[in-house]
Amino acid sequence: MKKTLDQKKSEDFAQKMLSVVNHAGLALMTSLGHRSGLFDAMADMPPATSEEIAERTGLNERYVREWLAAMVTGEIVEFDSAARTYQLPAEHAAWVTRKASPNNLAVSTQFVAVLGGVEEHVLAAFRHGRGVPYAAYNRFHEVMAEESAQSVVAGLHDHIVPLIPGMETRLARGIDVLDVGCGSGRAMMHLAEAYPKSRFVGYDFSEEATAGAKREIERRGLKNVCFSQRDLATMSDVEAFDLITAFDAIHDQAKPDTVLRNVRRALRPGGIFLMQDISGSGHLHADCNHPVGPFLYTISCMHCMSVSLAGGGPGLGAMWGKELALKMLGEAGFNNVRVESLEHDPMNFWYVADV
């Protein structure tokens, strides 16, 4: 069948693709601006030349100038061509600097390079279908820790603990808490500092993540938190915890159903499971309105779905959606599951489940 071409539609799409190419470049440069400290330095500087910015940051001027050119053409940094000075406006610094955390969107741009690093593996997986193991990803745990420092740790006190009525009081009195798929463990450390009478544990199968978490609790001198390298699919705790949390750690499991049952069994009567997971609707047409839909499906394809498939799992994908999550929580034996949204974290739903 010969298709007729709508010229206007075609030209509009070409514009969109150009924008994709430009924004892809900007995402990489934004990640570099974050990691190099350039955004942080420029936020505190008056309009400055590339030499002055390089001197302040201790970086090579030629690289700084080329990065600045990408930032200026991408309308992130402003340029005075007469004075040859560059400035990061305060309105932009409010979204790309460490001082702006938890609103630092430059943190998320680091995932582009992390995922780009496994492109060959993912491409091969398109053919053989067997997924890509966690071990293939460089800097995943480091970037994830930075991401959840903003979406989880920063909101624990004001937004997340209050999702569970009475939990603040129970934590203050002293309870047992487990975080499954704890990664670098910053959430448990934060709660351990805030609630010294409670005891906190983190499980993760990554040696890199748990070793880093153990070093950090030594450094902070925390006695009421510990971390253990463990596969959640084989955890055997029975009625050992009052609260179990999972921050963005269920959808990428190789055995999500087994893990949910293990979590259920590990809770004491009256215990609560708090699950943060990606805010997919479970329906592609509805996800078209998701403010970060393309990015989340990209992370899913290049990481979440792939790591699950690599472990012989179902590859639920990050956008598995509320309906399937609720069905699986019910099948694992949870009751009265509430689903909440938090304004500071549009990428996730918050499921609060009773045993």
Ligand X SMILES: C[S@@+](CC[C@H](N)C(=O)[O-])C[C@H]1O[C@@H](n2cnc3c(N)ncnc32)[C@H](O)[C@@H]1O
Stretch that binds ligand X, among 5-13, 143-151, 189-197, 280-288 (CB under 6 A): 143-151
Cβ-based nearer residue to ligand X, 79 or 134: 134
Is residue 249 part of the contact set for ligand X (CB under 6 A)? yes
Q: Binding residue for ligand X (CB under 6 A) from 29, 122, 145, 243? A: 145
Residues that contact ligand X, how many (by CB under 6 A): 21
Cβ-based nearer residue to ligand X, 22 or 234: 234
Is residue 204 part of the contact set for ligand X (CB under 6 A)? yes
Residue from 138, 230, 144 nearest 179 by CA: 230
* DSSP code string of 236-305: ---S-EEEEEEES-STT-SSHHHHHHHHHHHEEEEEEEEEEEE---S-HHHHTT-TTHHHHHHHIIIIIH
Stretch that binds ligand X, among 31-39, 41-49, 142-150, 155-163 (CB under 6 A): 142-150
Strand order in the sheet with 267-278: 225-229, 199-204, 176-180, 241-247, 267-278, 348-354, 335-340
Is residue 232 part of the contact set for ligand X (CB under 6 A)? yes
CB atoms within 10 A of CB 117: 15
Element (H, E) at 105: none
Q: Binding residue for ligand X (CB under 6 A) from 155, 181, 271, 315? A: 181
Is residue 137 part of the contact set for ligand X (CB under 6 A)? no
Cβ-based nearer residue to ligand X, 170 or 251: 251
Strands 348-354 and 267-278: antiparallel
Q: Binding residue for ligand X (CB under 6 A) from 233, 324, 339, 342? A: 233
Q: Binding residue for ligand X (CB under 6 A) from 32, 42, 48, 144? A: 144
Q: Where are the alpha helices (DSSP H) in 117-232?
A: 119-128, 140-151, 167-173, 186-194, 207-220
Binding stretches for ligand X (CB under 6 A): 134, 144-145, 148, 152, 181-183, 203-206, 209, 231-233, 247-249, 252-253
